[in-house]
Chain A
Amino acid sequence: MNFNDLKINFIRFILSILIIFFLLLSFGINPLDVTNALFIGSFGSFEKIIRTILVWVPISMASIALIYTFSSGMWNIGIEGQIIMGAIGATIIARSFLGDTFISPYIQLFMALAFGGFWGLICAILKVKGGVHEIFSGLGLDFVASGIAIYLIIGPWKRKGIASTSGTEIFHENSWIPTVGNLDFPIFLLIVIILVYVFTFYLLSHTSFGLRLKATGINFFATNKFNFSSERYIIFSFIIAGALAGIAGFSQVSGSYHKLVPTISGGFGFLSILLVLICSRNIFLTFIISFLFAALIVGGSQLQIKLDLDHSLVGIIQASFVLSWLILQRVNLEKKILNIFSKVFTK
């Protein structure tokens, strides 16, 4: 991303926020109050920052996952299912004999990678070998994964004496994702996500693998001329995306909830699709915008307490942000503003 893109994205960001402000005003809500409440709700204290990070990690992870599949030209609607399967994979370890050992979280991570990756692979195989469109198989697999999770929760993994959808037994503390300090700062998750960011950036911009992935997404039929097969790269992209989504599930189950619940994905998969639409495969932007979305979600709880506003306002803000962004992208107003600025400054 060059400096000019950065400026354009920045102006677009400000404009999107302004549009949301106007929207809030039209609801009769003071946008500054909302901003204040959201800010305090997400960054007001160290605990709140930690909660924001715990939401940011899975959203971020799912968004990066989608960057891979978008690169190869695939709509990975199955991301929700991949998150759920990752969570199930992690839960299997947490509930096994390894559950009370200190290596549990690390093995959970690998199980989550494997389960999520496998769920992605199914989608890819159906696409490549069966000619099933990835949107349909993805959606179907989402339902299947969700069904498996519910079955496990009210069936084999039900709590003693009760069969409810409120989740499994809380994991043994050794199965929780390692943290530091008495406020449980999720250091391990942070290391993982930063590594994933760095790795992805390097892979997509500095290796032939990344370039081939991108080429596959642009022209499926031209790749054999360059001695590689589109099908293989589609499969790769789904495996990687599924595996990363699996980590998001792991983060949810062993970092946030410490148990498996039916809504373990938290809708973060679908949210990430919106997010990646905005960021159009730009990793830096993904980093920032996903953080913003996480802050919105966490801060949203304050809206109710402080301003007596419904939590669903957060959804409205998110959706309007995405919509404004996409429209602005199309209208290209930022370039004009930038031109005016440069004229003023040169004078």
Chain B
Amino acid sequence: MKIELKNISKSFGSLKANKEISISISGGIHALLGENGAGKSTLVKIISGQLNPDKGSILISDKKINLGSPKIAINNGIGMLNQNPLDFANLSVLESFLVGNTQNSFMSNNHKTKEEILHLFDNYNIEIDLNEKISSFSIGQRQQIELLRLLYNGVKIIILDEPTSAFSLEQKKMIFDTLKKLTKEDITIIFVSHKLDEVFEICDSGTVLKSGRVVYSMHKPFDSDSIFAKMFDDTRTKNKITNKEKRSDKFKLFIDELDKTKQETFSNESLIDFGTVVGIAGLQGSMNDKLVNNFFSRDFSKTGIFFDNGDYIDKEKLYYMPADRLERGLFEDLTLKEHFALSYSNRSKYLNWNDIEIYGEKKIQEYDIKATITQKVDQLSGGNQQRLMLSLLPESPGVLLLEQPTRGLDFNSANKMWDIILHRKKNDIAIIFSSTDLEEIWDYSDIIISVSGNTIVNIESKQNLNKENLARYVSGILD
């Protein structure tokens, strides 16, 4: 299926998200590359009909299609898998298939449909109870269900908006196999990503966006150096962990299940230095995020963080950042200024908007948030939303509880995130974060908790661990 974009432009206020973008894709898997904020999300929203461009047109098989309506896009066979699952959380899997079903009439044969769906799930080796509610699945599983639903509805062009950030390695491999199989059936896939290794692995062609413009078009075989040069301004260097100065204060972590596992080096009585980074490694869908959340909700029968004298750390000192930014972290209809006012409001009951504006502008600079203070947060790119969340945490030392702090961020944005986090670490009591990216865990943690499924497999200082074992722990091979 051939798809052509011609001179697509879109602005939000003074922000020009897309400038005269023209791309022609004749088939296969096409990569859409670019840093956060490069305009990828806007472009795919235009293709999928969620946004109406200011200018430009889209042709499918040389036929011009109407824009700005998701329904028309679907009728033209364009389906989209969003970065964050966009599904009916309160429906069962089966219902969600029936609800979006374009083929069946009003009196659909439930039984036959169910068989078909089961067959589809079988084909892709996914074991799921169709009567289970969508909300009970992990983000990774929800994305898979969505993808299958699109296939079931017979889409011809599938847009994947940074899908793999939520997939486990195995799931990813499976999806990739599926995608390759699909291209043989004349289905075109637009693969939005910033993970170059993935792009190299499965894509046939690609486009690099930067500041809303097409800066590079490419075909297999790819030249990684020039792609890098086009995507990023600066060279690819990771932040080095600064040599930690020993701090005399200590804290303890209590984790209920720890005593049940065989632990030699760590117990619930182990003293940990202030300023330690604790990484919780686990595949998508494991309890690693939940563990972070447990620390925040202070369910003391399960988890706790306390000083060496046995006192619990106050609730006010626990700073939590959830993984799903717009669902649990930010208020999508509020401006940046109002967010700063909320975090500032602990100081005073009366809002002095002038002071808040000064405070906010300072934070925007300090955290390198690319936005104006009067913008609403849902207009921000993922990286900017993430840095905004970080900037909203209180400045005074505490325990940072970060659920997947760099989920969905490109390399530079992730780096910037860690710069800020590591800068804070000097004063903070501890940083506890979860991630599905083992590289990230390995690079930044002092102590690593490995989680597989719903069990804690291991907790160890990094120096007593090697990367291979870590990978085995989280995939449940070694325990």
Q: Which A residues are within 8 Å of any B CB, using their own CB?
A: 205-209, 211-212, 214-215, 218-219, 221-222, 224-227
Contact = CB atoms under 8 A, between A and B. Distances in A.
A226 B319 CA distance: 9
B449 interface: no
Given A206-B351, A208-B341, A212-B342, A218 B321 contact: no
28 contacts: A206-B350, A206-B353, A207-B349, A207-B351, A208-B341, A208-B342, A209-B349, A211-B341, A211-B345, A211-B351, A215-B334, A215-B338, A218-B333, A219-B327, A219-B330, A219-B332, A221-B328, A222-B322, A222-B328, A222-B330, A222-B331, A224-B320, A225-B320, A225-B328, A225-B329, A225-B392, A226-B343, A227-B316
B346 A214 contact: no
Contacts of A222: 322, 328-331
Q: Nearest 9 pairs between A and B by C-beta? A: A208-B345, A218-B331, A221-B328, A219-B331, A218-B333, A226-B342, A215-B331, A206-B351, A211-B341
Residue from A206, A208, A212, A222 with most neighbouring chain B CB atoms (10 Å):
A222
B423 to A, nearest CB: 21
A205 B322 CA distance: 28
B301 interface: no
B342 A218 contact: no
Interface of B: 316, 320-322, 326-334, 338, 341-343, 345-346, 348-351, 353, 389, 392
Nearest to B343: A226
A39 B338 CA distance: 42
B327 A221 contact: yes
Contacts of A226: 342-343, 345, 392
Contacts of A219: 326-328, 330-332
Given A208-B348, A211-B338, A215-B331, 18 more contacts: A205-B351, A206-B350, A207-B350, A207-B351, A208-B342, A211-B341, A211-B345, A212-B345, A219-B326, A219-B327, A219-B328, A222-B328, A224-B320, A225-B321, A225-B322, A225-B328, A226-B343, A227-B346
Contacts of A209: 349
Contacts of B327: 219, 221
Contacts of B389: 225
Contact residues of A: prevailing secondary structure: helix
B135 to A, nearest CB: 13
B85 to A, nearest CB: 16
Contacts of B341: 208, 211
B350 A215 contact: no
A322 to B, nearest CB: 23
B470 to A, nearest CB: 30
Contacts of B320: 224-225
A224 B345 CA distance: 14
A209 B349 CA distance: 7
B89 to A, nearest CB: 13
A207 B348 CA distance: 9
A80 to B, nearest CB: 29
A224 to B, nearest CB: 8
Given A225-B321, A226-B392, A227-B316, A211 B328 contact: no
A217 to B, nearest CB: 9
Nearest to A219: B331
